[in-house]
Chain A
Amino acid sequence: MLEMVERYIYAVTKRLPEKQRNDIEKELRSLIEDMLSGQVKNGTPTVRDVEAVLLGLGDPAQLADRYRAKKSYLIGPENYDTYILVLKIVLAAVAFGITLAMTISYFVEPPQGIFELFAGYFGALFGALLQVFAWVTVIFAIIENRNLPISGEFKNEEWRPADLPELPDRNLMIKPLESIIGLLFAVIAVIIFNTAEHLIGIYSFTADETMSVIPLFNHEGFRSLLPLLNIMLALGIIKESLKLVIRKWTKGLAMINLVFNVLSFGLFVIFIRGDGLWNDAFFAFWVEAGLIPADADPLLLWGKVITGLIAVTALGFLIDSAVNLYKSYRY
């Protein structure tokens, strides 16, 4: 009979923070005993009496909520929409990245049989998605737990009508899809450059049907220059994320865009002109294949290609920076 009371008290206090638990437990027990004595004038209370008293107190979960004066969430309603959006983007990017990586590795090292192929693919996919899901959730749970502000609005400052967001101007709106595709490519690029850079190159089949790759990059040279590439991709990811959050070309965003573009371009130039980046065998292949006349200097030709590449990239960054700056000032 009194065991039911203890079970009720436990059901309430287990939902409460450690600090308050003991005191509430003591108080609740004495209150329930008081209520029982109020219910039963003489003699010992029956099961029915106990049930009546506990029903009067109501659902232990609700009682605990009232003691806490706040509902507890892993991820609360304020952050839930952002959580779902981030989760969708990240999961899609990782699924795409893994599929791409597995497709490439299938051609490079074909697995034993169809079963190994699918087992390997789904195993890797499932594991990666689970990890990503867990990490995103943990990060959001910490944000919830610490009560960190997640959107750009400053919640504790007083609201003023002037703070109302402006009506979106069609010309200034950033399509989320654009940024999502941008993010997707950046993530894929990070994965490829960091794990499978040696697979970028010329694929050729020899007479006995085995495939060989002549990598474009010299492995050691590439590795030492890789940090530049990673910083550049990180800048791109930050930029696209900002665009995704702000959704509109503001002056500030256009300035950030300009600064990031200049930095990225600088990093790109240093990277592409870096010492020992290219694989000598790659050039030898062209000469052997007779695509470059033997008397021409492949490195000189390659230099021209790189100069062209830098020019195209510069033009791309320039147009992107200028158009968005112009937009943000003009409208």
Chain B
Amino acid sequence: MSEADELLNSIVMEMRRGVVILGVLSRLSESEYGYSLVQTLEKENFPVEPGTLYPLLRRLEKQGLLDSSWDTSENRPRKYYRLSDKGKRIYEELIIEWQKISGSISALVKGEGGI
């Protein structure tokens, strides 16, 4: 990989890092466990590495955005996460923020006879 590619890669990673939370919250109005969420996000063309996602779920739970529960009824116990009430409120605020950012950046890169 050339130096420019590497640089591009790291900038894209940083960009994605900011919106991963929004992407994750968007799929958690229904309970999901870690691996099912990995697959869902991949299907929606927003793949998040498992090594990033699993710790993130725990962090969001600790911050009170997610509720969790262990399901031990099946032969493999799984930890399910879903949005808490606080999480729902913040998720809705985040959508508005995202639309603002997305709108202004789109206008910026389109305007001024850009590329």
Which residues of A does B touch, CB under 8 Å? 23-24, 26-28, 30-31, 33-35, 38, 56-58, 62-63, 66-67, 69
Contact = CB atoms under 8 A, between A and B. Distances in A.
Interface string B11-55: 000000000000000000000011110110000000001111011
Contacts of B79: 23, 26-27, 30
B51 A31 contact: no
A34 B78 CA distance: 9
B77 A31 contact: no
B50 A35 contact: yes
A27 B35 CA distance: 11
Contact of B76 (A23, A28, A33, A63): A33
Contacts, number: 52
The A interface, classified by DSSP as helix, strand, loop or mixed, is helix
Interface residues of B, number: 20
Contact of A30 (B39, B51, B77): B77
A58 B35 contact: no
Contacts of B59: 69
Interface in B56-97: 56, 58-59, 70, 76-79
B72 to A, nearest CB: 10
Nearest to A67: B55
Contacts of A34: 33-36, 76, 78
Contact of B52 (A26, A31, A38, A66): A66
Nearest to A63: B51
Contact of A31 (B49, B50, B56, B70): B50
B77 A26 contact: yes
B39 A31 contact: no
Ranked nearest first, the 7 interchain pairs of A and B with the lowest CB-CB distance are: A34-B35, A66-B55, A58-B51, A67-B55, A57-B51, A31-B34, A27-B79
Given A26-B70, A34-B34, A56-B50, 16 more contacts: A24-B58, A26-B79, A27-B54, A27-B79, A28-B54, A30-B78, A30-B79, A31-B50, A31-B54, A33-B76, A34-B33, A34-B35, A34-B36, A38-B39, A63-B55, A67-B54
